[in-house]
Each structure stands twice: as structure tokens, then as C-alpha cells.
């Protein structure tokens, strides 16, 4: 085989390998794009061992508070009812808008909210010993959080955001003394901060 033909054949093989590599690299991204997470319902199906009690707080003869409890035995062996969840209809339209979950000590553990009244959770508050430590928001309704807000000792400490919908944080705000101290941005999508700045936070 002549040298010129060998070069042509070699370039063709390299090109073929390059195309195959590109296609292989795109497959995970295409698969990820096709994957969809169902948004959490604001009103989960009751467990078989849960007992519900209903309350009408506005006198319209329709329940607007639902309290779920389970029977269990305490440390003394006596049977008792423990509240595990409370649902509220805050705008009195007959549908649940706020669901609060409680731990074994009946302390608030998580609050799920339906802010746009579509029956799906779009904001969740997390608690430790009754204190809010984190908040998550689903801004585009795809069932995955886009904004994370972290609190330390009751004060805002950090905000994180997925601004392009790829399920990875690409924007960070660090707060001190109730104001933004510094902002980090990931410009190339590798999950690391490429640019640090100080100033007004993004809207």
C-alpha cells in the first residue's frame, strides 16, 4: 500500500472513532434528558395504620385540617397515638396546600407546600429539633429542586441554584450578617466555581 493511501485510511479510522466516541458521550446526556421525576403529591396516600381526624376551622361545614396519627406503645408500655402528619387547606378551596410531617417526638421534621395550588409540591422546608435548616424550591415543576437555601443557627447562610435545569448547582451565594458576602458561578458546567464576585445577588 502506498504511503498516501495509508494516511487516508488512517484519517478515516480516526474520524470513525471520533464519531463513535461523540455518540457514546451523548448517550448519558440524552438518557438523563429523557428521565423525568414525578413531582411529589402534596397529599400522599395514607398508610394502612394511619388514623385521620378532620377539623373545620372556618365554619363552612367542610374540613380544612386533616391530622394523621398512628397507634404505638411508649417507653412505659402504654398504648398511645402519635401524630405523624398534618394537612392544611389554607385557602379553603377544598384541596390541601400544606403538609407537615412529624418525627417520633412529634416535632416538625418537614413541611411540603403547594404554592401555585396545582396539587404538587414545589417548596419544602426541612427541620432539626424544630429549627429550619434547609429549604428547597422546584421552580419549573419538573419534580426536582432548582434552589436550595441553607440556614445556620436560624440565619441564612447559603443559597445554591441550578439555573440551567441539569440537576447540578451552578450558582452559589454565601451570606454573612444578613447580606451577601460573595457569589460563585460555574461557567463551564463542571460543577466547580469558575468566577467569584461580590455584589447584588441574582434575581
Q: Given this model, what pLDDT does residue 22 score?
A: 36
Closest CA to 81 of 42, 53, 54, 55: 53
* pLDDT tens by residue, 6-59: 433 333 333 433 333 333 333 334 334 345 567 789 999 999 999 999 999 999
Partners of 72 in the beta sheet?
80
pLDDT more than 70, % of the chain? 79
Please give the pLDDT value at position 193. Answer: 94
Residue given cell 419549573 in the structure block: 140
Q: pLDDT band at 136, cuts 50/70/90?
A: very high
pLDDT, residue 19, reads 35
- Which whole-number Å values give the CA distances from 54 to 64, 68, 84, in the listed order? 7, 9, 14
Tell me the average pLDDT across 93-104: 96
State how far the Cα of 173 lies from the Cα of 202, in Å rounded to an integer.
9
For residue 88, give the nearest of 109, 49, 58 by alpha carbon. Answer: 58
pLDDT of 88 > 60? The answer is yes
Are residues 48 and 84 in contact, defined by beta-carbon separation less than 8 angstroms?
no
Q: Following DSSP, what letter does each residue of 170-191 receive, concatenated?
A: -EEEEEETTEEEEEEE-SSSSS
161 pLDDT more than 50 = yes
pLDDT of residue 130: 87
Give yes or no for a contact between 183 and 201, defined as CB atoms under 8 angstroms apart. Answer: yes
CB 156 within 8 A of CB 178: yes
| Alpha-carbon gap, residue 117 to 101, rounded angstroms | 19
**CA pair distance 154, 140, nearest whole angstrom:** 27
16, three cell numbers: 470513525
The predicted model scores a pTM of 0.74
DSSP 112-154: EE-TTSSSB--EEEEEETTEEEEEEE-SSSSSS--EEEEEETT
Identify which of 17, 18, 68, 76 has the alpha carbon closest to the alpha carbon of residue 46: 68
Q: What is the mean pLDDT of residues 167-196?
A: 94
Amino acid at each position: 500500500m502506498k504511503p498516501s493511501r495509508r494516511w487516508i485510511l488512517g484519517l478515516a479510522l480516526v474520524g470513525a472513532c471520533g464519531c463513535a466516541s461523540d455518540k457514546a458521550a451523548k448517550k448519558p446526556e440524552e438518557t438523563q434528558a429523557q428521565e423525568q421525576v414525578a413531582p411529589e403529591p402534596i397529599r400522599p396516600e395514607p398508610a394502612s395504620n394511619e388514623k385521620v381526624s378532620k377539623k373545620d376551622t372556618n365554619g363552612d361545614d367542610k374540613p380544612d385540617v386533616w391530622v394523621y396519627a398512628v397507634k404505638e406503645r411508649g417507653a412505659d408500655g402504654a398504648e398511645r397515638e402519635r401524630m405523624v402528619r398534618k394537612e392544611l387547606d389554607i385557602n379553603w378551596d377544598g384541596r390541601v396546600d400544606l403538609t407537615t410531617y412529624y418525627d417520633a417526638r412529634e416535632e416538625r421534621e418537614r413541611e411540603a407546600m403547594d404554592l401555585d395550588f396545582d396539587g404538587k409540591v414545589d417548596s419544602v422546608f426541612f427541620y432539626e429539633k424544630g429549627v429550619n435548616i434547609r429549604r428547597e424550591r422546584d421552580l419549573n415543576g419538573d419534580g426536582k429542586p432548582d434552589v436550595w437555601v441553607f440556614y445556620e443557627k436560624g440565619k441564612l447562610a447559603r443559597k445554591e441554584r441550578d439555573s440551567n435545569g441539569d440537576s447540578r448547582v451552578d450558582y452559589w451565594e454565601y451570606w454573612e450578617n444578613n447580606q451577601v458576602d460573595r457569589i460563585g458561578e460555574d461557567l463551564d458546567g463542571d460543577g466547580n466555581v469558575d468566577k467569584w464576585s461580590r455584589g447584588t445577588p441574582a434575581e
